[in-house]
Amino acid sequence: MDAPSGRPWLRAALLVGAVYFVIGRSFAAPTDHVQAWRLAAWAASGVAFAAHIAYEHFRLRSARRALASRAALAVAIGAAALAVAGMLHAVSVGSGIGPSWILALVAWPAITAVPAFCAAFVAGTVLTRLGR
């Protein structure tokens, strides 16, 4: 899965999106202390988000808008993958795919990507001003 040499950001977005998916699936598996596992998933996702922003800012020297867009893309990829996994689970247990799952394929990425864009844009702005 090599990204073209001119787009290392795409490989990073796909990788971080896959990390979000793995975090979402693996941290949802334990059935005891569910609230603690959810908090741990948020923390792990926050670390992935911060690492992605740092990579975009320090390694790729991305502009704030590009940094925010790429971070939001990774979040949307992870959310879409989780929606697909949820839909496949619903099918496997015999629930079928209802309209809510079709909506989830669009809503989950959008609902997560918009705040991710805003947070990454603010983080990019802060990092740019601190670097001056």
Q: Find the mean pLDDT for residues 7-22.
A: 96
Residue 131 CA to residue 60 CA, distance in Å, equals: 15
Quick check: is 67 in a domain? Answer: yes
Domain ranges, residue 64 = 8-131
pLDDT band at 1 (very low <50, low <70, confident <90, very high): very low
Condensed to tens digits (0 to 9), the pLDDT of residues 43-66 reads 999 999 999 999 999 999 999 999
Report if pTM > 0.85.
yes
Structural domain count, the chain: 1
Quick check: is 126 in a domain? Answer: yes
Residue 6 has pLDDT above 90, yes or no: no
